[in-house]
Amino acid sequence: MLKRATGKWVVMLQDYIKIPDDGLEQFLKVADEKKLITGAGGKTTDWENIKWDWRATQGFRQVDYLQWEGDWAIAPLQAFKDVGGYDEEYDKHWSFDNVELAYRLSKMGYTFWILPTNKSIHFDHDKFTKHPFRERWNPDFHNNNIRNIEMGNKKIKLNYL
């Protein structure tokens, strides 16, 4: 879908998430051409009891690339074009695709931010139905990709876009 996008911003919203009525407006107030911004997340199985993650504390602030999360976020479309999109090899291994993308973007001068007031609620779907890609998770795949970029064995800009 990134190939088809024509606007200035890309908003990411994972499945099983409820966002605030003014969530898009909250993001647009702080959106910037060089910032990728994620909201806070809270997990629940019953919508009554919400366990907020670490992002729900403190104020709007810059964080390390590996703390940016694409489940409820906004980013400039140009950022994706600058690095050629997500690495499609992650489809084979599942997970960490947002971290690897953020790493490549950090090398190009993009920064990563948390907007804790923009809280999304995540329905914990793994409690009821196992995620279909769970068995494809490979934690070493992410580390090896980052290492290969650092050593100059892998391009920062890919050709997916």
Question: What's the pLDDT score for residue 90?
Answer: 81
Between 43-47, 144-148, 149-153, 157-161, the lowest mean confidence (pLDDT) is in 43-47
Name the strand (E) or helix (H) holding 82. Answer: helix 77-83
Mean pLDDT for all residues in the chain: 90
pLDDT at 130 over 80: no
Report domain extents, the chain: 9-150
Please, are residues 125 and 116 in contact by the beta-carbon 8 Å criterion? no
Between the two ends of the chain, the Cα-to-Cα distance in Å is 10
For 9-150, CATH number?
A: 3.90.550.10
pLDDT at 7 over 80: yes
CA–CA gap between residue 66 and residue 63 (Å, rounded) = 8
**Model pTM?**
0.88
Which tens digits make up the pLDDT trace of 19-76? 999 999 999 999 999 999 999 999 887 777 888 888 888 899 999 999 999 999 999 9
pLDDT at 137 over 90: no
Question: What's the pLDDT score for residue 82?
Answer: 97
Share of the chain above pLDDT 70, in %: 96
pLDDT at 123 over 90: no
Please, are residues 100 and 65 in contact by the beta-carbon 8 Å criterion? no
Question: What's the pLDDT score for residue 156?
Answer: 93
CA–CA gap between residue 75 and residue 78 (Å, rounded) = 8
CA–CA gap between residue 144 and residue 5 (Å, rounded) = 30
Question: Which residues, 6+ apart, have CB-to-CB distance to 29 below 8 Å?
Answer: none
pLDDT at 9 over 70: yes
